[in-house]
A and B are shown apart, each in its own frame.
Chain A
Amino acid sequence: GAGVSQSPSNKVTEKGKDVELRCDPISGHTALYWYRQSLGQGLEFLIYFQGNSAPDKSGLPSDRFSAERTGGSVSTLTIQRTQQEDSAVYLCASRLRDRAGEQYFGPGTRLTVT
């Protein structure tokens, strides 16, 4: 079946602009995560959605970052007033509700802020 998809695959934007990244999870996966991975760094947890529960936003680095998940499926991560330090690969992952550890990752969006 289809895996997790993300778009765009690459995004170059000017400092100060807003960007929106999209994630389509695997059908039937109720849990969805966003991560950020900078060069030479580990994966940084950003936000977690589970069904209709309130999302866990504890990883969002600033109020310029927000995410939503509509209809329990597609999710968008929005970064407002982008800064150069926002440059990274943004990864989305999804999993079944009862398979806590087994996350399936999308290919990521490489964001470059110039």
Chain B
Amino acid sequence: GQNIDQPTEMTATEGAIVQINCTYQTSGFNGLFWYQQHAGEAPTFLSYNVLDGLEEKGRFSSFLSRSKGYSYLLLKELQMKDSASYLCAVSYGQAGTALIFGKGTTLSVSS
């Protein structure tokens, strides 16, 4: 079956750096996404990796290793507003339309 694992919760302090890991096992792979979801709100797109390596976008970076079935989201210079759930998702299958999401990592940033 298809499976995505990510830690349930993480805590960090303002100004710090945090790395949220994601491992996946899927039948086929067409891309990996990271989304941010604040409590009671819809997810918002953060990043998309299809090739191995690091994608940097401001304070957020995402890394992918397809051979290891592994990704991480790196958040730098943490701010209180970064407190949210971070969802890892993989597009798989022949047509690349099927998607599986992890259960999300709840990040709490304290001052």
State whether A108 touches B101 (Cβ < 8 A). no
Q: Which residues of chain B come closer than 8 Å to A33, judged between CB atoms?
A: 99
* Nearest chain A CB to B91 CB, angstrom units: 7
Beyond A43-B89, A59-B98, is A107–B104 a contact (Cβ under 8 Å)? no
Interface string of A48-65 (1 = CB under 8 A from B): 101000001011000000
**Interface set of B (CB-CB < 8 Å, partner A):** 4, 30-31, 33, 41-45, 47-48, 50, 87, 89, 91, 93, 95-104
Q: How far is the CA of A74 from the CA of B102 in the complex (A)?
A: 28
Count contacts on A: residues with CB < 8 A to the other chain: 23
Beyond A43-B87, A105-B43, is A100–B100 a contact (Cβ under 8 Å)? no
Beyond A41-B103, A43-B87, A56-B98, is A101–B33 a contact (Cβ under 8 Å)? yes
Q: How far is the CA of A91 from the CA of B41 in the complex (A)?
A: 10
Q: How far is the CA of A35 from the CA of B87 in the complex (A)?
A: 14
Q: Which of B42, B101, B102 contacts A106 (CB 8 A)?
A: B42
State whether A104 touches B30 (Cβ < 8 A). no
State whether B43 touches A58 (Cβ < 8 A). no
Beyond A41-B103, A42-B104, A102-B48, is A108–B98 a contact (Cβ under 8 Å)? no
Beyond A56-B97, A101-B31, is A108–B87 a contact (Cβ under 8 Å)? no
Q: Which residues of chain A come closer than 8 Å to B104, judged between CB atoms?
A: 42
* Nearest chain B CB to A89 CB, angstrom units: 9
State whether B102 touches A48 (Cβ < 8 A). no
Which B-chain residue is minimally distant from A105 (CB atoms)? B42
Beyond A101-B31, A101-B33, A102-B48, is A42–B97 a contact (Cβ under 8 Å)? no
